[in-house]
Chain A
Amino acid sequence: MSGLRNRYCIVGVGETEYSRDSGRTTRAMAVEAIGAAVLDAGLGPGQVDGMLSYQLADSTPAPWVAADLGLRLNFYMDVLGGGSSTEALIGLAMGAIEAGMCETVALFRSMNGYTEVRIGGTGARAAQPVRGLDLAQRPYGMTSAGQNFALTFMRHMYEYGTTSAQVAHVRAAHSRHASQNPKALLKERVTVADVLASRWIVKPLHLLDCCLETDNATCLIVTSAERARDLRQRPVYVMGVAGRVSKPRTDFHWAHGPITRVAGYFARDIVFGQAGVTPEDVDVTGSYDAFTFTTMLQLEEYGFCVKGEGGAYVSSGIIELGGRRPNNTSGGHLCEGYTHGMSMVIENVRQLRGTVDDYCPDGREGKHSYDYAPGRCRQVRDATIAMNMGWASPPTGSALILGR
């Protein structure tokens, strides 16, 4: 099951500022992010002829932004969905190109997740009528992502003895990474004690176990390996991709346990099988850190540690810059900003290029100090294989393995 290993590449990445006051429309931000990615790739006018986006009725459709960029499209699709979309849509972009529908696809997510439709579920989202399957949970005051996932986290603590302090290391590690990232919304380093002292949101989640609500747009450009050779950047190859892989009973995943098992359990053989590598071969990971716990669950399920030992794994130092396999070197959704998964793929593309945008004066040209003190470097030395783990919910996830 080798799929299309190394036949497609991510050739351009771009994003807008991560903020809580964009002061403009999702259309304006999408245009900026896509434009930045096109420039990054070194693509000429009109060379992007495919576009994919994902959204939760909170964004701008592809046809609206294409004209702003002078693009006539041979393929576009706006997909309903949030987390787990980035990796899945990279696979769909490859499929569209492979089918001869188009040649080069820009994939974007644009949202005012703080100032317009809040990702945390307050405001307009809380006021929506409750119907269909939502009747199984929302009437019980279970509506936000944290509320929807907390039962999984609590059961993990029961079954495996996982502690709040263990998973708080995820926040601490990602905050260290964010302190080397000029783009990050929260650059201040926090400790495990800070996480445990922050107020409760929905037990077992403290405030600092939860990610940020953010305004931003992000973009990736996918094309074939042949076309990538003529472009500006060192190509980053898609070795394997899986998404949106699901647990049984997606109507109500609680029915099919163990409820501490998440979708990565079913995605891992697909993605590692295509890539022809094992977790040991991966140098950098990008987890979906909507919450500290989600990082732990994904790393367990994809085989970076034994199931149930995720608490020990994430608190061991392995996931920190300078550790064996750093995770979310940008600071991720917990600290850099929330993008529904795309920013962690962008970060891993830059890691594999060796051109992470840290505080090293010539970091973007690939000259790094590898000094991981605050306000310095966040480039991983000789990163050759990176993995991203997308998460929509406990029963749905996506995965991507990239190589240089």
Chain B
Amino acid sequence: MPAVEYRGMTLVIPDNDSEWKEYFAAARAHRLILRACVACGRLRYPPSHGCPWCADLGWTWREVSGRGTIHSYEIVVHAIQPGFRDWAPYPVVLVELDEQRGQPTADEALRIVANLVRPDLRPEAEENVAIGKRVRVVFQDLADQVALPQFTLSDEPPAGRVWRLA
């Protein structure tokens, strides 16, 4: 699977890619998987070769729940990539996953950048985007071996203070 066209971009995931290939293939099977260190057991994102905490080079994939909270967000009004113009205004969210929050130190977490989308994968309306809202992962299929993990609002009550730019 060398390349996928998406919104005017060429996403390059060559056969020798030792970071992302399995991540996006699992996403195509609608599973969110992260790398876990075989020595200390901690999860990490993005996929990498050494453990950020203990530097061990051994790892395995582990599936996570895909549930989390919006830690920050932005609304792109002026799209830079031409392929996103018909999507603007669109939200980009930084999602903090439920697994490993505040570990191993208080300010660390598994955070993932994605779009906040509706169940039909269109961008969520700005007035519904806020820090503190709960989200769950959904998958945007792009090709046989590639899907983008995205997030959509869940029906769970918010975590902590809910805030959006007025």
B45 touches A147 (CB 8 A): no
What's the least CB distance linking B74 to chain A, in Å? 4
CA A199 to CA B76, docked complex, whole Å: 12
**CB pair B81 A141 closer than 8 Å:** yes
Q: Among A78-86, A130-138, A278-286, A321-329, which stretch is in contact with chain B?
A: A130-138
Whether B111 lies near A255 (C-beta < 8 A) is yes
Complex Cα–Cα for A131 and B46 (A): 13
- CB of A130 within 8 A of CB of B9, answer yes
Bound CA–CA A158/B73 (angstroms):
10
Contacting B at CB under 8 A, from A137-181, are 137-144, 147, 150-152, 154-155, 157-158
**Inter-chain contacts of B46 with A (CB < 8 A):** 133, 135-136, 251-252
Note all chain B residues with C-beta closer than 8 A to A131.
11-14
The reply to whether A255 and B80 form a contact with Cβ atoms under 8 Å apart is no
B79 at the interface (CB under 8 A from A): yes
Known contacts A132-B19, A155-B131, A252-B45; A141/B84 CB under 8 A: yes
Centre residue among A132, A157, A203 by max chain B CB count within 10 A: A203
Of the candidate stretches A5-13, A30-38, A65-73, A119-127, the one touching chain B is A119-127
* Cα–Cα, bound, A137→B93 (Å): 10
In Å, the complex CA distance between A307 and B73 comes to 21
Which of B14, B19, B80, B107 is in CB contact (< 8 Å) with A144?
B80
Closest CB in chain B relative to A139 CB, distance in Å: 6
For A256, what are the chain B residues with a Cβ–Cβ distance below 8 Å?
107-108
> Are A151 and B87 in touch, CB under 8 angstroms?
no
**B111 touching A147, Cβ below 8 Å:** no
A202–B20 touching, CB < 8 Å: no
Q: Give residues 349-363 of A contacting B (CB, 8 Å).
A: none
Docked-complex contact A203 and B75, CB < 8 angstroms: yes
Nearest Cβ on chain B to A179's Cβ, whole angstroms:
27
Q: Considering the chains assembled together, what is the distance between the CA atoms of A254 and B73 in angstroms? A: 12
Q: Please, which residues of chain B bring their CB within 8 A of the CB of A157?
A: 165
The answer to whether B114 touches A140, judged by C-beta atoms less than 8 angstroms apart, is: yes
Q: Please determine whether B7 and A126 come into contact, CB atoms closer than 8 angstroms.
A: no
Given A151-B92, A255-B44, A255-B110 in contact, is the A202-B76 Cβ separation under 8 Å? Answer: yes
Interface presence of A201 (CB below 8 A): yes
Query: A249 near B: Cβ within 8 Å?
Result: yes
**A46 within 8 Å of B (CB atoms):** no
Number of inter-chain CB pairs below 8 Å = 136
User: Chain B residue with minimal CB distance to A143?
Assistant: B80
Question: Which positions 40-73 of chain B face chain A at CB distance < 8 Å?
Answer: 44-46, 48, 52, 71-73
Whether A255 pairs with B74 at a CB distance below 8 angstroms is no
Smallest CB separation, B162 vs chain A (Å): 10
Q: Report the minimal beta-carbon distance from B136 to chain A, rounded to whole angstroms.
A: 17
A129 at interface by CB-CB < 8 Å = yes
Task: State whether B94 touches A254 (Cβ < 8 A).
Answer: yes
Contact pick for B11, options A135, A158, A252, CB 8 Å:
A135
Q: Known contacts A136-B46, A158-B163, A251-B48: does B72 contact A152 (CB below 8 Å)?
A: yes
Closest partner residue, chain B, to A203 (CB atom): B75
Distance in Å: Cβ of A61 to nearest Cβ of chain B: 27
The distance in angstroms between the C-alpha atoms of A155 and B89, with both chains bound, is 19
Say whether A126 contacts B80, CB under 8 Å. Answer: yes
Let me know if A196 is at the binding interface, CB within 8 A: no
Partner of B45, one of A127, A152, A255: A255
B82 at the interface (CB under 8 A from A): yes
User: Which residues does chain A contribute within 8 Å of B14, judged by CB atoms?
Assistant: 131
Is there a chain A Cβ closer than 8 Å to B77's Cβ?
A: yes
In the assembled complex, the CB of A252 is this many whole angstroms from the nearest CB of chain B, namely: 5
Question: Is there contact, CB below 8 Å, between B72 and A141?
Answer: no
CB–CB B6/A139 < 8 A: yes
Say whether A257 faces chain B, with CB atoms less than 8 Å apart.
yes
Q: What residues of B have a CB within 8 angstroms of the CB of A248 in the complex?
A: 52
Q: Are A255 and B90 in contact (CB under 8 A)?
A: no
Closest to A256 in B: B108
How far apart sit A121 and B76, CA to CA, in the bound complex (Å)? 14
Q: Taking each of A129, A139, A152, A199, which has the highest tally of chain B beta carbons within 10 Å of its own beta carbon?
A: A139
Known contacts A135-B11, A135-B13, A142-B92; can you find 5 more A-B pairs with CB under 8 A? Answer: A132-B19, A141-B76, A150-B74, A155-B131, A255-B109
Residues of B within 8 A of A (CB): 3, 6-14, 19-20, 24, 44-46, 48, 52, 71-82, 84, 87, 89-90, 92, 94, 107-115, 126, 131, 148, 161, 163, 165
21 contacts between A and B (CB under 8 A): A130-B9, A133-B46, A135-B20, A137-B113, A140-B115, A141-B115, A151-B113, A154-B165, A199-B78, A200-B89, A201-B78, A202-B77, A203-B75, A249-B52, A252-B45, A252-B111, A254-B113, A255-B44, A256-B107, A257-B109, A259-B111
